[in-house]
């Protein structure tokens, strides 16, 4: 890199420390990609009970004050690290240790009920980031990269520090989570009154931490080019589309990447047989092993469709439930791994009882099993209502499982629809549908099943897909270009 930059990444969850979804994957992988490019990088997150189980965590020997006056509290910093391999520098991870807010079972909720004081907890964490960054050693960061509503308040807090403060870059991973707080949360937020109006945090009588990040950041990033356009529409803007159009001059869409050291079928310890695009025998053995585990018929004429997902409305579970019977009439197997809304879980359980020869369901989050399912699958379903980027379709490509996706957000950007008439090169990578209804999903599944029957063409697409490259290095270089522009313009 031509200019040395120092970056501090603030995130509410980081993989290998604490995780509920894709944000943690990004916050655990992007720092290592930065480090591999020579960018001095650190991460800061809350010291949840779960995070303290990470074996690298120890006391950093730093106590510091968060807040002022009667709201002043004392926290301390713990320190762990992210490490990829011996060739890539380890990235320090600082954990804000304040047990009243973070020593709990769960990150955002317990027993599927959100903690009622989440707005207080993450206002505190954002203040802690501002108080802690001068204490981390060396020069202060040039950039603080904040992620989603939990860190949105960092952006106005940086403005309050004056022109010499680090530049605030805010990443929207999911526009649907607005980070709402009641008006009385002003006391916990602690900003001057001018920040709370309609041009600031105010959102229909409430306060939005996501809006704080959008309005007061130096630059905005979201996690795919298509999603950057979608969040400027009434359908996907969640009431902030006009605001995002106003701030579109500073909005960038940068695709998330894949950590191919973790997701690589040639070196995956979670699957019973490894394989490469030149030799798919191991993939066949993975499918056999999974079908045996699931108790599904091992019939070579039956394609296996897999879905590894949160079971929520956003993920299009309703379409799968509605289309399942027609899918099974095509002679398909379906396997779903995930947890989520009770109504969807109950409907899926009923479906599993009705079609035990076609459908397997596991209501769980299991990282090892997710690797096996992607390795075993012929097709991976991602029928989301909206999907800012999506990672499962990128894993599927590398594992030779063909994605069947709705053409939205990052799914649209990363999957090329198969028209069925291409020459033997088969440069397209999957099957897409646009309308959010079960008929459109079924038609895409039927097209996929038709390709599966054409064994040579199906195998060619699988092998070609495994050569697709969505590495984090590409994404990190795009982030670096954004950082460079805003530090040059300072």
Q: What is the pLDDT of residues 284-334, one digit of tens each?
A: 999 999 999 999 999 988 999 999 999 999 999 999 999 999 999 999 999
Q: How confident is the model at residue 425, as a pLDDT?
A: 46
Same domain assignment for residues 382 and 446? yes
pLDDT at res. 388: 95
Residue-averaged pLDDT of the chain: 94
Structural domain containing residue 404: 281-465
Regarding whether 479 and 444 lie in a shared domain, the answer is no
The end-to-end CA distance of the chain, in Å, is: 19
Residues 329 and 193 in one domain: no
Cα separation, 246 vs 370, in Å, equals 40
Residue 266 resides in a domain: no
CA distances for 185 relative to 59, 110, 155, 201, 220, angstroms = 31, 22, 17, 11, 25
Does one domain contain both 16 and 124?
Answer: yes
Q: What is the pLDDT of residue 3?
A: 65
In angstroms, the CA 455 to CA 460 distance is 9
Q: Is residue 273 part of a domain?
A: no
* Judgement on whether residues 25 and 165 belong to the same structural domain of the protein: yes
Q: Is 91 inside a domain boundary?
A: yes
| pLDDT at residue 2 is higher than 90 | no
**Residues 332 and 411 occupy one common structural domain:** yes
In a domain, 264, yes or no: no
What does the pLDDT read at residue 279? Answer: 97
Q: Find, among 474, 23, 479, the residue nearest to 220 by Cα.
A: 479
Q: Residues 461, 478: one domain?
A: no
Whether 157 and 200 share a structural domain: yes
Is residue 352 in some structural domain? yes
Sheet containing 402-406: which strands, arranged edge to edge? 359-362, 333-337, 304-308, 379-382, 402-406, 431-433
Alpha helices in 60-199 (DSSP H): 99-102, 118-132, 154-160, 186-189
Determine phi and psi for 8, rounding to 5 degrees: -115, 120
Is residue 218, in this structure, part of any structural domain at all? yes
CA distance 141 to 167: 9
Q: How far apart are CA 404 and CA 411, in angstroms?
A: 9
Residue 127 near residue 188, CB atoms below 8 Å: no
- In this structure, the answer to whether residues 293 and 433 fall within a common structural domain is yes
Could you tell me if residue 288 is inside a domain?
yes
Q: What is the dihedral of CA 226, 232, 237, 243, to 10 degrees?
A: 140
Confidence band of 426 (pLDDT split at 50, 70, 90): very low
290 & 330 share domain: yes
CATH number of the domain encompassing residue 238: 3.40.50.2000
If you count them, how many residues does the chain have?
490
Number of domains in the chain: 2
Q: Are residues 85 and 151 in the same domain?
A: yes
CA distance 80 to 45: 11
Establish if 275 belongs to a structural domain.
Answer: no
The phi and psi torsions of 207 (rounded to 5 degrees) equal -120, 135
Give the pLDDT band (50/70/90) at residue 489.
Answer: low
Q: What is the pLDDT of residue 421?
A: 59
What is the arithmetic mean of pLDDT over 245-267? 96
* Domain co-membership, 160 together with 227: yes
Alpha helices in 224-311 (DSSP H): 225-230, 241-246, 281-294
The confidence score (pLDDT) of residue 420 equals 60
């Amino acid at each position: 890199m031509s200019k040395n930059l120092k970056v501090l990444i603030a995130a509410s969850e980081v993989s290998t420390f604490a995780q509920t979804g894709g944000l943690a994957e990004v916050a655990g992988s992007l720092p290592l990609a930065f480090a591999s490019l020579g960018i001095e990088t650190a991460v800061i997150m809350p010291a949840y009970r779960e995070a303290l189980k990470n074996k690298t965590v120890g006391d950093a020997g730093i106590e510091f004050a968060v807040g002022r006056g009667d709201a002043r509290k004392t926290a301390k910093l713990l320190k762990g690290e992210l490490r990829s391999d011996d060739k890539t520098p380890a990235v320090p991870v600082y954990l804000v240790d304040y047990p009243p807010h973070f020593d709990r079972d769960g990150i955002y909720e317990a027993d599927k009920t959100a903690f009622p004081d989440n707005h207080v907890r993450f206002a505190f964490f954002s203040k802690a980031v501002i108080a802690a960054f001068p204490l981390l050693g060396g020069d202060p960061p040039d950039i603080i990269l904040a992620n989603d509503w939990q860190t949105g308040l960092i952006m106005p807090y940086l403005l309050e520090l004056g022109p010499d403060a680090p530049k605030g870059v805010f990443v929207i991973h999911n526009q649907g989570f607005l980070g709402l707080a009641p008006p009385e949360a002003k006391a916990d937020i602690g900003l001057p009154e001018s920040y709370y109006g309609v041009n600031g945090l105010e959102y229909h009588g409430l306060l939005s931490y996501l809006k704080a990040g959008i309005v007061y950041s130096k630059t905005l990033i979201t996690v795919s080019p298509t999603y950057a356009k979608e969040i400027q529409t009434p359908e996907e803007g969640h009431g902030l589309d006009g605001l995002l159009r106003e701030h579109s001059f500073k909005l960038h869409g940068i695709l998330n990447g894949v950590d191919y050291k973790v997701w690589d079928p040639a070196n995956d310890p979670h699957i019973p047989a490894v394989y490469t695009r030149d030799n798919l025998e191991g993939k066949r053995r993975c499918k056999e092993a999974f079908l045996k585990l699931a108790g599904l018929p091992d019939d070579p004429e039956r394609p296996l469709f897999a879905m590894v997902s949160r079971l929520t409305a956003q993920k299009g579970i309703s379409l799968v439930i509605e289309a399942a019977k027609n899918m099974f009439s095509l002679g398909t197997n379906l396997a779903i791994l995930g947890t989520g809304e009770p109504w969807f879980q109950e409907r899926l359980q009923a479906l599993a009882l009705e079609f035990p020869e076609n459908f397997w369901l596991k209501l769980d989050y299991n990282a090892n099993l997710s690797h096996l399912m992607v390795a075993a699958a012929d097709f991976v379903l991602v029928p989301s209502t909206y999907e800012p980027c999506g990672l499962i379709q990128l894993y599927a490509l590398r594992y030779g499982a063909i994605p069947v996706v709705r053409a939205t957000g990052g799914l649209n950007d990363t999957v090329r629809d198969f028209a069925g008439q291409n020459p033997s090169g088969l440069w397209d990578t999957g099957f897409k549908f646009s309308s959010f209804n079960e008929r459109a999903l079924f038609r895409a599944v039927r097209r996929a099943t038709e390709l599966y029957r054409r064994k040579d063409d199906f195998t060619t697409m699988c092998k070609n897909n495994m050569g697709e490259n969505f590495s984090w290095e590409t994404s990190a270089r795009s982030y670096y270009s954004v950082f460079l522009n805003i530090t040059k313009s300072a």
